[in-house]
Amino acid sequence: MVRGLPIYLDYAATTPLDPRVLEAMLPALTGDFGNAASRSHAYGWRAEALVKDARETLARALGGEAREIVFTSGATESDNLALLGAAHAAGPGKTHVVTSQLEHSAVLDSARQLEREGFRVTTLPPGADGVPGAASVAEAIGAETFLVSVMTANNETGTLNPVAEIGRVCRERNVLFHTDAVQAFGKVPFDVGSFPVDLVSISAHKVCGPKGIGALWVRSGAPRVRLAPLIHGGGHERGLRSGTLNVPAIVGFATAARLALESRVEESRRVAFLRDRLQAAILEAVPDALLNGHPAERLPGTLNLAFPGVDGDQLFLELSGLAVSPGAACSSDSLEPSHVLLALGRSPALARASIRFSLGRFTTATEVDAAAAQVAAAVRKLRVVSR
């Protein structure tokens, strides 16, 4: 916690930059400032070497090959490139996309754009267990389907989706499978060599890396994944994403990914312990609080709780000492309740009275205990006032 600021429990929105990541980035911000596309002198060669090393590091982290990494400005662009790029490169008669109601807005808004362009989109509701199941995906796939997009872990509840099963269904039907793995990457096991997946979106700032840099993993094996670029000019990134590469951020992304993977097992265990401690403390003080999302199949650091009988706006005003979120940061300025929680069956009032707590690398037990106490006090106060 930074002195004078609230306790930070919003790691799902963004993470603090790890000092080791900043240290790795500094040479690329100063001496190695060249353009990685400048092939005629040493400044460009040195920048190109940094990008090459970073690409290989990220590929190893995903279990893929370096040539399969396409750098983007972040996960939103990666999701857009996956959906729109696949659609614009799809063959004749391929006009159908399958996704779920629980997806990030970058996927859902891209799907809506495809509908405006004449494509047909099926948006699956969650099953009884709160996840889009492989059976419902299989039922939705038809002769015109070219792409299924289902996230690995939900950004609001932390619930893990059965992406391996969904991927197998897609592979059997010769349909591309894209997963937004932004929240899961570096936190739970994920290997493109083991999962039948074709396109994977990841982002640096969710793993204590810099903002403004992400990647789309594009499978290179047969059958070939074809994408049409969204950004034109220069033919960078194998023609899939033109633009001068952000070398310092790319170096930071690779360093952040390496650090996350090196400590994933022990860090996930530590963070899950703190999450369970926070959940237990809040539920002891507020027994009627409701867990949003799957109770077991979830990310180690995410906890989403609903507080019945409390006005959501007033609750967040009372929690000025905590940096927490009502839902996804990308839509936090919206007056509408979370589309994820509504899809899971929560009422608009209960969705508004829900809090996403997300813990990470620098969260401490002291902060967790203080947060639980603040939540309990805020709920008690508001319930007394509302009587």
Q: What token pair was written down for 295? A: 């109770």
Contact present, 60 and 262 (Cβ < 8 Å): no
**Three-state secondary structure of the chain:** CCCCCCEECECCCCCCCCHHHHHHHHHHHCCCCCCCCCCCCHHHHHHHHHHHHHHHHHHHHHCCCHHHEEEECCHHHHHHHHHHHHHHHCCCCCCEEEEECCCCHHHHHHHHHHHHCCCEEEEECCCCCCCCCHHHHHHHCCCCEEEEECCCECCCCCEECCHHHHHHHHHHCCCEEEEECCCCCCCCCCCCCCCCCCEEEEEHHHCCCCCCCEEEEECCCCCCCCCCCCCCCCCCHHHCCCCCCCHHHHHHHHHHHHHHHHCHHHHHHHHHHHHHHHHHHHHHHCCCCEECCCCCCECCCEEEEECCCCCHHHHHHHCCCEECECCCHHHCCCCCCCHHHHHCCCCHHHHHCEEEEECCCCCCHHHHHHHHHHHHHHHHHHHHHHC
- Using CA atoms, how far apart are residues 139 and 70, in angstroms rounded to an integer? 32
Radius of gyration for the chain, computed over Cα atoms and rounded to the nearest angstrom: 21
In which residue are the tokens 């899939």 written?
Answer: 240
| Active-site residue (options: 1, 89, 285, 330) | 330
- Using CA atoms, how far apart are residues 194 and 312, in angstroms rounded to an integer? 42
Give the residue among 319, 354, 322, 316 at the shortest CA–CA distance from 337. Answer: 354
Phi-psi region of 187 (alpha: psi -120 to 50; beta: other; left: phi over 0): alpha
330 is an active site residue? yes
Count the Cβ atoms, other than its own, within 10 Å of residue 221.
10
Which active-site residues does the annotation give? 330
